[in-house]
Amino acid sequence: MASKNQDGHHEAMIDVEDALSKILAVFSPLSTQKRDILRTNGMVLAEDIISGINIPPLDNSAMDGYAVKYENIQNASLKNPKSLKVVATTAAGELPYLTLFDNESVRIMTGAPIPMGANAVVPFEETGDKLNAINSKIANEVRIHTSSFLGQHVRKAGQDVKSGETILHSGTVLHPSHIALIASVGKAFVKVFRRPEVAILATGNEITKPGNNLQTGKIYDSNSYGIASAVLEAGGNPAIVGIARDNFESIEKKLNKCSGSDLVITSAGVSKGDFDIVKDVLSKNGTIEFHSVRMKPGKPLAFGGLNQNGKLIPLVGLPGNPVSALVAFEQFCRPAIRLMLGHKFVPRATITAILDDEIDNQDGRRIYARAIVYKKHDIYHVSLSGFQSSNILSAMAKANGLAICPENKPVIKAGETVTVMMLYWPSEVF
């Protein structure tokens, strides 16, 4: 039976920054693909988008009302209305078929192109025609209750976007407003960086798939589910490979199913126990860069390349403890996924908050304490979300951030400020 690690990869524990830069060094934005814009929200644009048209395409009305020559109604008021002849009615989607002459008007709806000769729009509310109903009987005349100016309530052609203009640059993270903008210039497909395929493998003799009966001595697999959800949240496509048992053959067999992945994430089996053999499998079938990081939680963390048909697939071996797995995912896997997606800025945002509790750092590792950030009198405060052991998922589930105690700081006292890496931005807090 495989026992303690005999692979000779016992280099010293490395710093979080070193670990992150070693990991990020092997990733870059993935290949690009043309994609239906409806399926690009949150993805990163891989081309400049140039509009072939003006938006709006023609001068058009910003209001329901009357298209006029502003010169004809210069002194009009409620007391001294100006009567104009109504020569037509026009709605969005139609083309004006006539030219307006002096003292004429056209009943016009929002979005309808401005007739030739008109240069302003008077809203219904400023006229004697208050019905504002398209089906009401259209009078031959309308009384205008207000003066106007050149271009009032007229949306000029090209006001939003000009033909030939670059409306979005490669590298833009697409949000609903961007997707609307792309649609507005008539494009249905755009080039984006594809999503990474991320294989997720749980290891352990004790691990049971949720939904099944739990035998004595076993525990349910929470890691695969938390990691898969975190992969999704980061923008990757998670694929749960299953559960490998703590023996070389079982892990190797499952890992052989990951050849199509951009990243493999395993959990457990990377510390110093008798059955922690993920590292052994990796060193036989690939390379190990490091397997221990100066952080808490998350110290046992392996990173290397899994050899699949001559190709090295990056593998992050997360610790088994569920809190360690999620915290380490945040530090290393999420940035890698963001990088593959083409994001330029990959870390989580941090804030500074006043600490309610004390954080003790006994062994010079970087601590990521599970914490709840809240706002009081416009100042951020943060309190620890519960017992800080790396198996206490309930405290992780209460947290919206990770309060960071640096490696070289033995203690952060209550009342001092602390940097917090934000995991969620609950709107009731911010």
For position 281 contacting Mg ion by CB under 5 A, the verdict is no
Half-sphere exposure of 42 (CA within 13 A, CB side): 9
According to DSSP, the residues that pair with 359 across neighbouring strands are 412
For Mg ion, which is the closer residue by CB, 119 or 266?
A: 266
61 binds, among ligand AMP, Mg ion, none (CB under 5 to 8 A by kind): none
Instruction: Answer for the pair 192, 49: CB distance below 8 angstroms, yes or no.
Output: no
Give, as ranges, the residues between 190 and 219 that touch Mg ion (CB under 5 A): 204
Choosing from 127, 172, 223, 361, the residue that interacts with ligand AMP (CB under 6 A) is 223
* Sign of the alpha-carbon torsion through 262, 265, 266, 270: positive
Count the Cβ atoms, other than its own, within 10 Å of residue 214. Answer: 10
* Min dist. Cβ of residue 325 to ligand AMP (A): 7
Peptide linkage before 297 cis (omega within 30 of 0) = yes
Helices (runs of H) and strands (runs of E) counted in the chain: 8, 27
Which residue in the set 267, 283, 361, 385 belongs to the binding site for ligand AMP (CB under 6 A)?
267
Residue 130's closest CA among 114, 115, 145?
Answer: 145
The nearest distance, CB 383 to ligand AMP, in angstroms, is 26
Q: Which residue has the tokens 């979300």?
A: 385
Nearest approach, Cβ of residue 303 and Mg ion (Å): 18
- Give me the 293-332 binding string for ligand AMP, x by CB under 6 A, dash otherwise: --------------------------xxxx----------
Question: 292: which 2 tokens?
Answer: 């221990």
For ligand AMP, the closer CB: 219 or 411? 219
Cβ at position 226, least distance to ligand AMP in Å: 8
Smallest gap from Cβ 253 to ligand AMP, in A, equals 18
Report in angstroms how near the CB of residue 248 gets to Mg ion at its nearest: 14
Smaller CB distance to ligand AMP: residue 230 or 412?
230
3-state secondary structure of 98: coil
User: Residue 225's beta-bridge partner residues?
Assistant: none
Q: Is residue 268 a contact residue for Mg ion (CB under 5 A)?
A: yes
286 binds Mg ion (CB under 5 A): no
Under rule CB under 6 A, residue 204 binds ligand AMP: yes
Phi (first) and psi of residue 216, to 5 degrees: -55, 135
Count of beta carbons in the 10 Å neighbourhood of residue 323: 25
The reply on whether position 150 binds ligand AMP by CB under 6 A is no
For residue 22, the minimal CB distance to ligand AMP (Å) is: 21
Determine whether 368 is exposed, middle or buried from the number of CB atoms within 10 Å of its CB (0-12, 13-18, 19+): buried
**Angle of CA points 28, 171, 346, to nearest 5°:** 55
Summarize as ranges the residues that interact with Mg ion (CB under 5 A): 204, 268
Summarize as ranges the residues that interact with ligand AMP (CB under 6 A): 202, 204, 206-207, 219, 221-224, 267-269, 271, 273, 276, 319-322
